[in-house]
Structure 1
Amino acid sequence: MDWLQQLINGISLGSIYALIALGYTMVYGIIRLINFAHGDVFMIGSFVGFYAITGLGLSIIPALILAMAVCALLGVVIERIAYKRLRNASRIAALITAIGVSLLIEYGTIYFRGAQLEVFPSALPTKSFNLWGATISVQSILILSISVVLMIILQIVVRRTKVGKAMRAVSHDVEAARLMGINVDRTISATFAIGSALAGAAGVIFGIYYTKIEPLMGVIPGLKAFVAAVLGGIGIIPGAAIGGLVLGLVETLVSALGYSNWRDAAAFIILILILIFKPSGILGKNSREKV
């Protein structure tokens, strides 16, 4: 039953993309900004998890929480310093700033710690078990479980809490939300914090899954997560989760068919196709937007 093993692997990989994509889609839903520095926040989360486990001796859950906290703080700092003053600027100015922040994080990390690879410690059990003739690793199941729990918590926060309601109000109409007494600046900062925390968690999970991390590791997963967000419907939280899972399954299928060299290209082929045939994404609605 190789198909079952491939399915579990694809869903596990897709859940990592989904966690990163949620940050893209939340920020876009609030301020219509594509935060291309988000993939580098994911990279920082991976290194925080690495040093927490190897340097501080923490287990996986405390290291995960620490990485999420650091990345949440980093997300707020990025928003306050780089993006806050550009809310009324042109889209191209915000886009260029996002690319600049991305490069600053990448090469700042290289400056302070070097560009060498690190081998992520084995923080989860490496055992496996047989299910219907397929060998399923406990690691894949735990990674998937952590991702699902985080996505459920996000849904609860967005749907049931005061902050989540404020985020939805700001996403719908910024000026109306401000007139209703909502602190828009604080809500936007909270959005960056939550999205960045999820990216930090994804960085730790990615390190466990692939074992090797380095300062430029956020580029490709960040772009793939952006593809996942567009695929599901940019600005729609469930869409980002669906897009991430679909992308992970497609990549795993491409590798299983013997075209592993094409697995990265598959994501961008999907992006081209979705922009041509359904630019609003799987869950999005067609609407015209003035640029």
Structure 2
Amino acid sequence: MALDTFMQHLANGISLGSLYALIAIGYTMVYGILKLINFAHGDIFMMAAYFAFFGVATFNLPWYFAFIIAIVLTGILGMTIEFTAYRPLRSAPKISILISAIGVSFLLENLAVVLFGGRPKAFPTPSIFTDVVVIGGVSIQNLTFIIPIVTIVILFALLHLVNKTNVGMAMRAVSKDVETAKLMGIKVNRIISFTFAIGSMLAAVGAMMWSAKYPQIVALMGMIPGLKCFIAAVIGGIGDIKGAVIGGFILGIGEIMLVAFLPGLTGYRDAFAFVLLIVILLFKPTGIMGKNLTEKV
């Protein structure tokens, strides 16, 4: 019985960790290229959930079609944010672009409240996600299997993109030295926009899975997941795609196990992520997979 309970919690932890990993990859890709923490990432995640919600609930689209449209729209939103809020400040001090990112975050949150209302909305979760499979004494939703599979497939696809394609080579070149990349004929603006689009689309995939798992969406829903996924990226080594996935799994499994085996600390579940962040910064500031880098002045 104890083993069944442990396996139930482990399955839930892997599922939650996969969600964190999906969103953390978006953080780490943008940071890897621009050395920018895109604090609007959690709110892009929120907008994607609303795109999917209205696609299904208002326009009566099939869920899979609504999800695809939401992912595409979120990618366009990410590129728009990069073009309007970040690109004009690219040569400005880092603090300016950081303030711009925080401003975009507040703008998206308040825009969502105005456009979509402040009341929570029930996300229309497809039955294929909510059906339950019983294995031994463990009851597992189909979604608990789907989320890790989606995460692993996306991880390998991104690793192939970054390491095996011309676009990936250009992304790595831009991450090393923007000016040299320009001299080599790389269209830097196009590569950066592409990176923002990919990162935002990953946030959208995470939003679809998150909203199906926790079927209630609200304008401020991106705040805590956004912070936790940033922490996951830092734990794994921000700028490293595999590190973001590892950090997501560590954080997700750790949270679930904390609540499962120390129920008295349930109210401190969110605090666990920040305590873990402090520990990582104290003992390995570059994260598990991070490399020591000297920042240019």
Please confirm whether the aligned pair reaches a TM-score higher than 0.5, indicating the same fold. yes
TM range (shorter): over 0.9
TM alignment of 1:16-35, pairs within 5 A: 16-35=19-38
Report the equivalent of 2:206: 202
CA contact (8 A) 1:65 1:201 kept: no
1:135-165 superposed Cα distances (whole Å, 9 cap, x missing partner): 2221211222223222232222222322222
Deviates more, 1:195-204 or 1:59-68: 59-68
CA contact (8 A) 2:155 2:241 kept: no
Deviates more, 1:139-148 or 1:2-11: 139-148
User: Is the alpha carbon distance of 1:57 and 1:142 closer, same or farther for their aligned partners in structure 2, counting shifts above 3 Å?
Assistant: farther
User: Is the alpha carbon distance of 1:143 and 1:65 closer, same or farther for their aligned partners in structure 2, counting shifts above 3 Å?
Assistant: same
Secondary structure, counterpart of 2:139 in structure 1 = strand
User: Is the alpha carbon distance of 1:35 and 1:113 closer, same or farther for their aligned partners in structure 2, counting shifts above 3 Å?
Assistant: same
User: Is the alpha carbon distance of 1:151 and 1:49 closer, same or farther for their aligned partners in structure 2, counting shifts above 3 Å?
Assistant: farther
Report the equivalent of 1:278: 284
Report the equivalent of 1:70: 73
Q: Which ranges in structure 1 are unaligned for 5 or more consecutive residues?
A: none
Would you say 1:101 and 2:123 are equivalent positions?
no
Report the equivalent of 1:85: 88
TM-score, normalised relative to structure 2: 0.94
**Whole-Å separation in 1 of the counterparts to 2:100 and 2:161:** 29
TM-score, normalised relative to structure 1: 0.96
Report the equivalent of 1:110: 113
Report the equivalent of 2:60: 57
CA contact (8 A) 1:124 1:139 kept: no
C-alpha deviation, 1:188, in angstroms: 0.4
Structure 1: which amino acid aligns with 2:210?
A: F
CA contact (8 A) 1:45 1:202 kept: no
1:225-245 superposed Cα distances (whole Å, 9 cap, x missing partner): 000010000111111111111
1:177-201 superposed Cα distances (whole Å, 9 cap, x missing partner): 1111110010000000000000011
C-alpha deviation, 1:290, in angstroms: 5.1
Secondary structure, counterpart of 2:140 in structure 1 = strand
**Whole-Å separation in 1 of the counterparts to 2:276 and 2:88:** 34
Would you say 1:267 and 2:273 are equivalent positions?
yes
**Whole-Å separation in 2 of the counterparts to 1:59 and 1:22:** 28
Structure 1: which amino acid aligns with 2:125?
A: S
Structure 1: which amino acid aligns with 2:237?
A: G
Q: Please point out which of 145, 149, 154 is paired with 2:149.
A: 145
**Whole-Å separation in 2 of the counterparts to 1:226 and 1:161:** 27
Would you say 1:228 and 2:225 are equivalent positions?
no
Deviates more, 1:248-257 or 1:170-179: 170-179
Secondary structure, counterpart of 1:286 in structure 2 = coil
**Whole-Å separation in 1 of the counterparts to 2:86 and 2:144:** 36
Structure 2: which amino acid aligns with 1:164?
A: G
C-alpha deviation, 1:286, in angstroms: 2.6
Q: Which ranges in structure 2 are unaligned for 5 or more consecutive residues?
A: none
CA RMSD of aligned residues (A): 1.4
Q: Please point out which of 18, 28, 38 is paired with 1:15.
A: 18
C-alpha deviation, 1:2, in angstroms: 1.5
